[in-house]
């Protein structure tokens, strides 16, 4: 009975959503400002579902909602007041991970809470000189990887299989190109899908590449992409909607006029440039609107499978970053002209997505 009721509700929701385009015109999403409870810069966001969302940023700050953003609670992780949280992964209203950076080698840390933020345990503290951990991504609540820029031709990657301890898998990684690095990209330089697939976007060298694994990080391949690459440019943000189809965004972070994107339909082995995104500055963060699929979501999500929202960085310091969206993975684009100063975007489903950014701004986006 419950299953039939859920299906009926979702059929009704799907019918009310409407298609992204009708008669050649776009149906712009609904944008609803929310109050975070902090003025700290919020860098990364992780929806668990349509009600539970974690975000985090500067000053050791994180925020949490359990009612879809009607109310947010802001707090600071003790001992992390001088750190920035560049990535966050929410598991539930009680469990979440945070990835920090700072000015010292040991400021690159992974924190975890299992009690909704009442206490935080440090699971990993970097001791590898010159490592810079940009982002992490998880297959399950206890299986994930964290990615660092290369050091002396090696990527000092780490992995957890139990949600508690992290171990080096640097020996599994392909050799790095000279200067090859990633851009933290609000935690979106690394993406996971399914039980074993993961992709890492790189730049900083002569070629922008994708590092890909099909076996949970045991082995990796490196694939060239057509995105511009230089010490300030490359692949920046990556997402996959299934094991074969994905999108990569990037550009030159030193320029306010350079943005590019490419798609793959073979798991990241080859890439084709999309039409140019209508954003000044490089794409800094992108996300599929379909979000994390839940039971019975096929009816709800199907029409939005190829819909992607992007944020773009403009210099200096992303003070006026723009945003745009595409219903077809980059063939056509639509600006979001009122969205400015947001760093990250992520979705639970097409009705429940969130931008986070400067001065603690949070903006709910619903298609």
- Could you count the other beta carbons within 10 Å of the beta carbon of residue 137? 21
CB proximity list for 112: less than 8 A, separation 6 or greater: 95, 96, 97, 98, 120, 121, 123, 163, 164
Q: What gap in Å lies between CA 118 and CA 128, rounded to an integer?
A: 30
* Residue ranges covered by each domain of the chain: 31-366
Among the listed residues 28, 24, 17, the one whose alpha carbon sits nearest the alpha carbon of residue 339: 28
> pLDDT tens track of the chain, all 367 residues?
333 333 333 333 333 333 445 444 568 999 999 999 999 999 999 999 999 999 999 999 999 999 999 999 999 999 999 999 999 999 999 999 999 999 999 999 999 999 999 999 999 999 999 999 999 999 999 999 999 999 999 999 999 999 999 999 999 999 999 999 999 999 999 999 999 999 999 999 999 999 999 999 999 999 999 999 999 999 999 999 999 999 999 999 988 777 999 999 999 999 999 999 999 889 999 999 998 655 545 555 578 999 999 999 877 766 668 999 999 999 999 999 999 999 999 999 999 999 999 999 999 999 9
Considering only CA atoms, which of 72, 78, 66, 67 is closest in space to residue 42? 72
Cα–Cα dist 192/213, whole Å:
9
CA atoms of 66 and 55, how far apart (whole Å): 12
**Cα–Cα nearest to 270, from 296, 248, 286:** 248
How many Å apart are CA 124 and CA 359, to the nearest integer?
29
Question: Which architecture characterizes domain 31-366 according to CATH?
Answer: 7 Propeller (2.130)
**Rounded to 5°, angle at Cα 247 from 320 and 279:** 25
């Amino acid at each position: 009975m419950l299953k039939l009721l859920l299906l009926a509700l979702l059929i009704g929701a799907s019918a009310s959503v409407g298609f992204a385009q009708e008669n050649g015109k776009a149906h712009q999403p609904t944008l609803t400002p929310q109050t975070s409870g902090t003025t700290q810069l919020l860098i990364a966001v992780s929806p668990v579902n349509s009600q539970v969302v974690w975000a985090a940023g500067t000053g050791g700050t994180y925020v949490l909602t359990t009612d879809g953003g009607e109310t947010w609670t802001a707090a600071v992780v003790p001992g992390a007041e001088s750190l920035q949280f560049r990535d966050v992964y929410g598991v539930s209203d009680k469990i979440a991970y945070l990835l920090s950076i700072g000015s010292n080698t040991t400021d690159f840390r992974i924190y975890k809470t299992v009690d909704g933020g009442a206490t935080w345990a440090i699971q990993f503290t970097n001791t590898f000189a010159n490592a810079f951990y940009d982002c992490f991504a998880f297959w399950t609540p206890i299986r994930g990887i964290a990615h660092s820029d290369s050091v002396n031709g090696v990527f000092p990657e780490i992995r957890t299989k139990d949600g508690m301890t992290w171990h080096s898998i640097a020996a599994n990684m392909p050799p790095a190109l000279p200067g090859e690095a990633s851009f933290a990209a609000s935690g979106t330089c690394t993406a996971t899908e399914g039980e074993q697939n993961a992709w890492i976007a790189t730049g900083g060298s002569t070629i922008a590449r994708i590092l890909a694994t099909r076996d949970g990080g045991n082995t990796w391949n490196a694939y060239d992409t057509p995105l511009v690459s230089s010490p300030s440019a490359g692949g920046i943000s990556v997402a996959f909607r299934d094991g074969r189809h994905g999108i990569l965004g990037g550009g030159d972070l030193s320029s306010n006029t350079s943005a590019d994107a490419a798609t793959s339909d073979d798991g990241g082995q080859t890439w084709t440039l999309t039409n140019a995104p209508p954003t000044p500055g490089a794409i800094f963060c992108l996300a599929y609107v379909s979000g994390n699929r839940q039971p019975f979501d096929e009816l709800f999500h199907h029409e939005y499978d190829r819909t992607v929202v992007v944020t773009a960085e403009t210099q200096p310091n992303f003070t006026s970053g723009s945003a745009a969206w595409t219903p077809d993975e980059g063939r056509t684009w639509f600006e979001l002209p009122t969205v400015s100063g947001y760093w990250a975007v992520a979705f639970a489903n097409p009705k429940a997505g969130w931008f986070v950014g400067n001065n603690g701004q949070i903006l709910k986006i619903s298609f």
